[in-house]
Amino acid sequence: MSSLRLLSLFCCLLLPAGAMADVTVFAAASLKTALDNIVEVSGQPGVTVSYAGSSALARQIEHGAPAQVFISANTAWMDHVEDSGLIAPGTRRDLLTNRLALIAAPGSDVALPIGPDMDLAGVLNGGRLAMALVDAVPAGIYGKAALTALGQWDSVQPQVAQADNVRAALRLVALGEAPLGIVYATDAVAEPRVRVLGLFDTALHPAIIYPAALVKGGDTPEARAFLEYLSTDAARAIFKANGFSFPEGQP
């Protein structure tokens, strides 16, 4: 067992029941369903999670927001916070992986196999393709990369409706305001109103990795305990049930 894990568990044992201090978690919006469940079953009181696009969360941390745990949906925004000297040394780890999905709105009977020959712009027929912000939010960045690799981006770009985060893009499709969308596979699992048309080949975009770390200045025993809990069998079972996978080399 690592020294970090031993320290966290030891600190938890020293605290009487009900004495746990509050923990503030900043987490990528795509984690909401799974992480809300994990917080509920963890038994650790006082854990508050703020969800948004990873870019927005990183910038809030830069401006002094009181986050203690940061979970990003890509490595770039975690790198950005770490390069700013705002990550507690030795606490960063790759927590989860994900896939990218093309989804359709309720009642849609469209069939559109994902590939370089698909007529995505034609199928939209003037409608919108819902995506997270393509130059800032990880899901949008991955989606733009995949469409670019398929030779689809230039034709479909004028029809893209950009949302602040991936869950907002998901809602646009679930409500029928956009006929198609690109979200994480886990988002599609969380929203029964949408239908998955297919998953993008992982070779079409950078690997989707969710790093997690403690924020410097918020490194408390309670925050460490919660970060460690995210890698327990109980938490991993919830992540897996919600469609997440784990980095190569992890069971």
In the chain, what are the domain boundaries? 3-97+208-241, 100-204
Q: Which CATH architecture has domain 3-97+208-241?
A: 3-Layer(aba) Sandwich (3.40)
Answer whether residue 5 shows pLDDT above 90: no
Q: Give the pLDDT score at 170.
A: 98
- Report residue 136 as tokens: 């800032």
Instruction: Give the DSSP H or E segment for 182.
Output: strand 180-184
Distance CA 5, CA 3 (A): 5
Q: Tens of pLDDT along 12-26?
A: 333 333 334 599 999
Q: Give the pLDDT score at 181.
A: 98
| Domain 100-204 indexed as CATH 3.40.50.970 | no
Q: Name the residue type at position 78.
A: M
Rounded to two decimals, the pTM is: 0.86
- Report residue 40 as tokens: 């509920």
CA separation (Å) from 139 to 161, 197, 208?
13, 17, 9
User: What average pLDDT is seen over the chain?
Assistant: 91
The separation between CA 42 and the C-alpha centre of its own chain, rounded to angstroms, equals 20
Distance CA 231, CA 146 (A): 30
